[in-house]
Structure 1
Amino acid sequence: MNDVLSHVLDAHGGLERWSQIDRLQADVILRGPFWAVRGFSEKPSRERLTVETRREVIRLSPWKRPERDILVRAEDDAVEVRVAADDTVLESRSGIRSTYAGYELNSPWESLQVGYFIGYAMWNYLTTPFLLTYPGVTSREGERCVENGEVWHRLEVHFPRSIATHCARQTFYFGDDGLLRRLDYNVDVNVGVAVAHYVGAYREFDGIKVPTRRRVHRWNPDDSLSEDWSIGIDIESVWTV
């Protein structure tokens, strides 16, 4: 484990605390024009997420209707819409990741595609930075950079195929305090769009530190950053279950 990652893990609550957590729940609000383009919701959408920390399994509630949930089994590349009361499966799709092929930047997605995207993305966000210690994930220190008057420590991370994530290679930036400031990646399921994902407003929940504000900006073709953000995620609370 490199020195930056060791410092980062300690700053977020430590591996010892994380090893005691099997499942997290979070109340989140999804905002931004991206969701309407993809056919989800023009208004901010409130979801409760349940994520397993050792398996890439995520449940979102409610899903489209108060009595329905969506279960994203990203590790199996599958999605299911279920009745919340008794877990009856109403709709399912396997091989979900391959279904994004052929879509354009402004093409609306099917409901299950939106659910898969939210599910795997939020699993990655809620398990970071501990995710960086999972089997097959490798990281190395990159050159430091300066942004917003701070020195940011860069980690170049490679994810194995066994983890559903935005793309195999991503760059994470951490402040001197060890907390995440930004991550850069290409969104494979969204025609490979390059984004800069800023995080902040850290709070402590059950012994781990979590950024409660996320804003995603697209990189323009001239390598400038779009001033307006396309995706906003606000986390109201997180707890262990």
Structure 2
Amino acid sequence: MTELLDIVVAAHGGLNSFHRFSSVTAKLHQGGVLWALKGKPTVLEDCHVKVDLRREQVSHWPFAPTQNRSVFTPDRVVIEDPNGHVVEELMQPRTSFEGYEMETHWSNPQVAYFAGYTMWTYLTSPFILKRPGVVTEEIGPWKENDQEWRRLRVRFPDEIATHSTEQTFYFDDRGLLVRHDYEVDIQGKNAAARYISDYVTADGIVMPGKMRIYPRGADNKPLPEPLIVSVDLSDFQFS
């Protein structure tokens, strides 16, 4: 029997197709209560994102109201002006969040760190689940809204910056990712459920057009409010 991970990778375009490219860019619109809670309600509301598909590096621009851009890696985040001069820099960024809760405000480099690792995880999934060091295991199915979804429990290695070491990915009967659970370690380990929809195909790769992220209760069910983050993506370009 074909392993679940092989099924879902094929459903999203296949590993061979994914490995043809080194990066993807997209237009990004974000909403939800998170950004105002962090003191950054509009800084990345409407922007572009570029994700490196081979190593964990992500850029967002512009950081409103400026034309500055971010360059995220797990160990260093910089904010650059349009001429490439460093405006702000944060080394070992994850340690800067120690003791933070949901309402703790973030600096621009901290926003860039969070936005960087989230978009890298989101826009390279499910293909990154095939990377060396990533451990996956199929667990029991989950029923929601008259549907039954197969699930993978995933453990990420320390060198990958992401929400939490252990996460759960849910797939529909087509093999498409429809839900993704994790704890946001950098803001008090808040439990979240990300819902994925409105898929489009770009250069043979199936990409999500819409994501909605809600709190996750102790019963593993999403809470109807608040909407923590909304993400709308368009104009995918692979290179």
Q: TM-score, normalised by structure 1?
A: 0.94
**Which stretch of structure 1 is more off in the superposition, 19-28 or 34-43?**
34-43
The one of 144, 162, 165 equivalent to 2:162 is: 165
Q: What is the RMSD of the two structures over their aligned residues, measured on CA atoms? A: 1.7
Q: Supply the distance in 1 between the matched residues of 2:181 and 2:2 (Cα, whole angstroms).
A: 20
- Specify the alignment match of 1:15 in structure 2: 15
- Specify the alignment match of 1:47 in structure 2: 47
**Which stretch of structure 1 is more off in the superposition, 131-140 or 62-71?**
62-71
Residue deviations 1:142-198 (CA, integer Å, cap 9, x gap): 111221222201101010001000001000000110001101110011110001111
Q: 1:93 to 1:175 in 2, by over 3 A?
A: same
- Specify the alignment match of 2:150 in structure 1: 153
Q: How big is the shift at 1:42?
A: 5.3
Gaps spanning 5+ residues in structure 1: where?
A: none
Q: How many residues align?
A: 238
**Which stretch of structure 1 is more off in the superposition, 173-182 or 39-48?**
39-48
- Specify the alignment match of 1:63 in structure 2: 63
Q: How big is the shift at 1:46?
A: 0.8
- Specify the alignment match of 2:128 in structure 1: 131
- Give percent identity, aligned residues only: 34
Residue 235 in structure 1 maps to residue 221 in structure 2: no
Q: 1:43 to 1:102 in 2, by over 3 A?
A: closer
Q: Supply the distance in 1 between the matched residues of 2:105 and 2:219 (Cα, whole angstroms).
A: 26
Gaps spanning 5+ residues in structure 2: where?
A: none
Q: 1:232 to 1:146 in 2, by over 3 A?
A: same
Q: How big is the shift at 1:65?
A: 3.6
Residue 192 in structure 1 maps to residue 186 in structure 2: no
Q: What does 1:170-185 align with in structure 2 at a 5 Å threshold?
A: 170-185=167-182
- Specify the alignment match of 1:33 in structure 2: 33
Q: Where has structure 1 moved over 6 Å in runs of 4 or more? A: none
Q: Supply the distance in 2 between the matched residues of 1:2 and 1:195 (Cα, whole angstroms).
A: 30
